Structure 1
Amino acid sequence: MMHRRTRGFGPCRQIGRAICRTIAASLVALAMAVAPSQHASAQDAHFGYSLAAPENTLTIWGSTDIAAFGPAISTFVDRNPGVAVTYVDINTNELYEKTAGACAENRPASDLVISSAVDLQVSLANDGCASAHASDLTGQLPSWANWRNEVFGFTFEPVVIVYNRAGTPFDGMTISRFDLIDLLRTDEATYSGKVATYDIEDSGVGYLFAFMDSQQATTFGRLVESFGRNKVVATCCAEEILDGVAEGRYLVAYNMLGSYAIARARWDDRIGVLFPTDYTLVLARAALIPKQAENRALAGRFIDFLLSDKGRGVLEDTDLIARPHNDLPSGEGLDLPGDSLLRPIALTPVLLVGLDQEKRRLFLDIWKSSIAPVKDAP
């Protein structure tokens, strides 16, 4: 059964959704204005000096929202005068395809690839598409966050359940996957069409979380069946799903990246965040230097910055590294689960199992037999 506790997210002092979005938009606009380029697209952000020499310009392809990752890049540039950074925001599947394509054709692309789909990062390294980088800081990473000095996990992001606070009974409760299944089974009238998750066919990180669930949880089959009965919306993009939960179009969102959800809940008191109490997956977003990178040394310097005390502090401030939040506007804190409940997704070849073409096809067939993706979410 579900148990009550002091809730992690109570009524925060809301600064206003419009204001928060304006801040994020201003960050990107400022970055674009610092180093404009005639080749820039709406998904590109530029930091530093437009006249920086090519060897001092770092190109990063990444799937992390610029509003969350921009402060880390800005701090790195501030600490490295004369260095410029171009950040291109690409979804995880396309990011993998572009990097793998450049590797296969032996041509340079980006200097650094950062992705939440860490299984695809390990796959790139396994295919010989990564350059090694070793330093005192990479040597201090736990073994699960460093694969052969080629793939480095630098964040600590719990995978969470997000809920609409006005439309659900979850405030002050803890919940396991068993509880979620029971709730959906007994109250289909309320939750049918009101539960959202990633479309795992289009989202690399969504596929990763679902496959890890299938390996970890005895509840997985029942969970997928319950999702099917309740017409779960399988759709794109964390921001879109969080908007839907906040607005009440969805009441529950499953397997959401805690970094984005926690950051949103800090200013938007329409949503709450829960850590599943049977286990909580933890993602370490992964950085990889492509084999054909032109500025490997600068890419390595950036990785070391992310792993440094200063870099980790910036990542904590933007919730890319989870920590107990005792500074929420409401005065309440966020209690992370104990270590026994945290299941970090280790950067090892085990991740490649889910990428085997036949296993992936069978897994997607099982998923899609119960859950039809919704390309145009309500």
Structure 2
Amino acid sequence: MQDHLPQVRARSLLAIAILLAIIFAGAAIVVAQTRDLRSIAMREGVLVIYSATDENEASDLLRAFSARYPFIKVDYRSLSARDVYDWFRREADGGRNVADVVINSAMDLQIKLVNDRYAQAYRSTESDHLPDWAVWKDQAYAVSAEPIVMGYNPRLLTRDAVPTSHDELATILHRTPALAGRIGSYDPERSPTGYLYVSQDIQVDSDAWDLIAAVGRARPQLFQSSKDMIEQVSSAKLSLAYNIIGSYAFERAARDPNFKVVVPRDYVLMMSRVALIAREAPHPASAKLFLDFMLSREGQSLLEKHHMSPVRLDMAPENKVLAGTNVREVRVGPALMAAIDTMTFERFVRKWREAIGESAPADNQI
């Protein structure tokens, strides 16, 4: 037995040496790739980003990127989720390519752009650190992981009136007539982000339409952004807002005693902001450097400062409120396009309008 020990040790050492060689070779390739992109980006000198993320929320990330690559002038254009999609697609169709990077919380519209060949493939230097659900075809990348939550004003709702789950929200709305007109929700007809969340609720929860009907009977005020709903709750114009983006909610709650967050205990949708590089990006090297930086440990940490949790496998989110909850990640991929099929959307609109007591027009489009 002892005669074989030197051979075993030799094989083990050889295996370790091969593994180290592979690791160092991979690192060398990444360094070389970044160096080549950097050289080209110096000649490009510009990066144009269309994003549905407020510039204030991205400010630390943008400053750090500019500090690392001072030769790239960043033109960051903060738009609504609908405008990000419409402007980018209209410009691309007209042969006027402006945006290099497109970032949107309307995940399904991002996937549609990839499917319709508006994005280019690029394997990020950070790809090995990302979960399978966060990347599709090396073209669509989740850059954050954010829970969809509820928010309320503690001056207006007593503890027993605060829902802790989707089912409880429906029950409370049934038994609390005073909440009529004081509930905020996305308008899924006008907000692609809001439609995404409702359509995901319907897929996850067989009782989702019961909740939608309860919200409808409460005569909700409808919005196109989470931040507007949060502002209305904080100012006591609303008592509660449903299906809001967690990053905005947690950031406001950290500094505002008039706004609190509820993480539903039955299930939590985990959405992502999805980034892609335009197929005809005028500044592709700068775009690739930005995507790599956004997905790097430094970039993810800077996003996390604004409550956009990291997607990287080697980074645990600092926010512990999701511990033990039933998290349902919204996977980046083609399944997202099913809900934005025209006929599916029209059926949804008819049912949605019935739930909130309105008649649906004939020409709705997602």
Q: TM-score, normalised by structure 1?
A: 0.79
Picking from 322, 332, 337, the partner of 1:336 is 322
Map of 1:62 onto structure 2? 51
User: Displacement, 1:105?
Assistant: 3.2
Q: Spell out the pairing of 1:280-295 with structure 2 (5 A cutoff).
A: 280-295=268-283
Could you tell me which of 144, 156, 159 is aligned with 1:167? 156
Using a 3 Å threshold, how does the CA distance of structure 1 residues 90 and 54 change in structure 2: closer, same or farther? farther
The correspondence for 2:132, drawn from 139, 143, 160, is 143
Q: C-alpha distance in 2, partners of 1:131/1:306?
A: 17
Q: How does 1:196-215 map to 2 (within 5 A)?
A: 196-215=184-203
Pair 1:84 & 2:73 matched: yes
Seen in structure 2, the aligned counterparts of structure 1 residues 101 and 360 have a Cα distance that, compared at 3 Å, is same
CA-to-aligned-CA distance 1:119-149 (integer Å, 9 cap, x gap): 0000000001101111330232111110100
CA distance 1:280–1:170, shift in 2 (3 Å): farther
Aligned residue for 2:264, secondary structure, equals: coil
Distance 1:271 1:343 in 2: 25
Deviations 1:309-350 (A, max 9, x none): 11111011111117344xxxxxxxx52143x61111101111
TM-fit CA distance, 1:170: 3.8
Contact 1:324 1:336 in 2 (8 A): no
Distance in structure 2 (CA, Å) of the matches to 1:65 and 1:54: 28
Conserved 8 A contact 1:174-1:277: no
Is the 8 Å Cα contact of residues 174 and 275 (structure 1) preserved in structure 2?
no
Query: What is the match of residue 23 of structure 1?
Result: none
Q: Distance in 2 between matches of 1:100 and 1:107?
A: 10
Q: What is the CA distance between 1:101 and its match in structure 2? A: 2.0
* Contact 1:60/1:87 (8 A) holds in 2: yes
Q: Which has the larger radius of gyration?
A: 2
Residue in structure 2 matching 1:157, options 146, 149, 152? 146
Seen in structure 2, the aligned counterparts of structure 1 residues 372 and 238 have a Cα distance that, compared at 3 Å, is: farther
Q: Distance in 1 between matches of 2:289 and 2:44?
A: 13
> Against the structure 1 CA distance between its residues 191 and 172, is the aligned structure 2 distance closer, same or farther, given a 3 Å change threshold?
closer
Whether 1:104 and 2:90 are equivalent positions in the alignment is no
Which amino acid is 1:335 matched to? V
Q: Residue 234 of structure 2 aligns to which amino acid in structure 1?
A: A
Matched ranges for 1:278-357 at <5 A: 278-321=266-309, 323-325=317-319, 335-338=321-324, 341-357=326-342
* Cα offset, 1:109, TM superposition: 1.9
Distance in 2 separating the partners of 1:242 and 1:271: 8
Q: Tell me what 2:205 maps to.
A: 217
For 2:206, give the aligned amino acid. Answer: T
For residues 49 and 160 of structure 2, what CA distance do their matches in structure 1 show? 39
Q: CA RMSD for the aligned pairs?
A: 1.9
Per-residue CA shift, 1:89-119, capped at 9, x if unaligned? 1111121112222333343120000000010
Match runs of 1:11-30 below 5 Å: none
For residues 337 and 173 of structure 1, do their structure 2 counterparts lie closer, same or farther at Cα, with a shift above 3 Å needed?
A: farther
> Percent identity between the aligned chains?
30
Structure 1 residues not aligned, in runs of 5+: 1-51, 326-333, 374-378
Give 3-state SS (helix, strand or coil) of 2:126's partner. Answer: helix
Match of 1:195 among 175, 178, 183: 183
Q: Letter of the aligned partner of 2:321 in structure 1?
A: D
2:240 — aligned with what? 252
Q: Which amino acid aligns with 1:350?
A: A
1:222 is aligned with what amino acid?
D
Is 2:343 the partner of 1:358?
yes
How far apart in 1 are the matches of 2:86 and 2:357? 25
Contact 2:182 2:238 in 1 (8 A): yes
Secondary structure at the counterpart of residue 131 of structure 1: coil
Q: Which amino acid aligns with 1:248?
A: A
Partners in 2 of 1:136 and 1:302 — Cα distance? 11
8 Å Cα contact 1:234/1:372 also seen in 2: no
Higher helix share: 2
Q: Is 1:368 aligned to residue 365 of structure 2?
A: no
Q: TM-score with structure 2 length normalisation?
A: 0.81
CA distance, structure 2, for counterparts of residue 362 and residue 270 of structure 1: 38
Are 2:147 and 2:269, in contact at CA under 8 Å, matched by a contact in 1? yes
Gaps of 5+ in 2: 1-40, 311-316, 359-366
Distance 1:108 1:366, change over 3 A: same
> Deviation of residue 237 (structure 1)?
2.0
Which shows bigger deviation, 282-291 or 165-174? 165-174
Instruction: Work out whether residues 124 and 291 of structure 2, in 8 Å CA contact, stay in contact via their aligned partners in 1.
Output: no
Q: Which amino acid aligns with 1:150?
A: Q
The 8 Å contact of residues 163 and 169 in structure 2, kept in 1 or not, is answered as no
- 1:104 aligned partner, one-letter code: D
